[in-house]
Homo-oligomer: A and B are copies of this chain.
Amino acid sequence: MILYGYYRSTAAWRVRIALALKGLDAEHRFRHLRKGEQRAAEFLAVNPQGLVPALVLDDGHVLTQSLAICEYLDETHPAPPLLPRDPVARAKVRAVAQAIAAEIHAVQNLKVLNRVKALGHDQETANAWAHDTIAEGLAACEALVARDTRFCFCETPGLADIALVPQLYNARRFGVDLAPLPRLAAIEAACLALPAFAETAPERQPDAE
């Protein structure tokens, strides 16, 4: 497998964590989003959307959208599981992962911040947009996760944790105060104690600046 990513793409980090939790190897290729490398013809031939992450399977199929990729890895390599077995519990894990992916990350990613700047605003205003989106979204997540588990919902990390930890990294980048989010902070600490989270972090990637 080949994973196209970018060290600071939180969506790509999600897939790196899932691969690591499953003990799967992939060739990592990095495309620098701020330099626009995801728009190069060579990469558009792989993923016409020009988005990372993109996972190229050994048979040539290209998978996109980080959560869909994580579910694929979970279905094809069931151990350790990224989702619980009970359908209600699965729905709650997926809801947190999707709340982070859609309502936080999708609204504060580089593409949207560039759209804010294209309306005539400066970087400071774009950063405030990201800050407020993340702070509001994570406050909702603090209320959604389970109260008394080591990770978001279980004693082992799963899809919600995979979405959460990269989002907390982005929260720090944009100066979000994490003090009102003690439960999320405790989950993050439990995750980052694991190599699958710590060793896949942005600053540990070969393209980190």
Given known pairs A68-B94, A95-B65, the reply for A140 and B88 (CB within 8 Å) is no
Contact of A71 among B94, B105, B133 (CB under 8 A): B94
Contact of A121 among B90, B99, B105, B119 (CB under 8 A): B119
Which residue on B lies nearest to A105, using beta carbons? B102
A91 touches B68 (CB 8 A): yes
A48 within 8 A of B: yes
Q: A interface, how many residues as a size bin?
A: 35 or more
A129 within 8 A of B: yes
A119 touches B125 (CB 8 A): yes
Q: List residues of chain B with CB within 8 A of the CB of A140.
A: 48-49
Contact of A65 among B61, B98, B143 (CB under 8 A): B98
A87 within 8 A of B: yes
Best-surrounded residue of A103, A105, A115 (most CB of chain B within 10 A):
A103
Interface residues as binary, A58-72 with B (CB distance below 8 Å gives 1, 0 otherwise): 000101110111011
Report the bound CA distance from A14 to B143 in whole Å. Answer: 24
A67 touches B48 (CB 8 A): no
Given known pairs A101-B102, A106-B102, A116-B119, the reply for A61 and B88 (CB within 8 Å) is yes
B143 touches A88 (CB 8 A): no
Report the bound CA distance from A117 to B37 in whole Å. Answer: 32
Report the bound CA distance from A132 to B57 in whole Å. Answer: 32
Q: List residues of chain B with CB within 8 A of the CB of A2.
A: none
24 CB contacts below 8 A, A to B, read: A48-B140, A48-B143, A48-B144, A49-B143, A63-B88, A63-B91, A63-B92, A63-B95, A65-B99, A68-B92, A68-B95, A68-B98, A71-B94, A72-B90, A75-B87, A75-B90, A76-B87, A98-B101, A106-B106, A107-B107, A115-B129, A115-B133, A119-B121, A119-B129
A residues with CB within 8 A of B: 48-49, 57, 61, 63-65, 67-69, 71-72, 75-76, 87-88, 90-92, 94-95, 98-99, 101-103, 105-107, 112, 115-116, 119, 121, 125, 129, 132-133, 140, 143-144
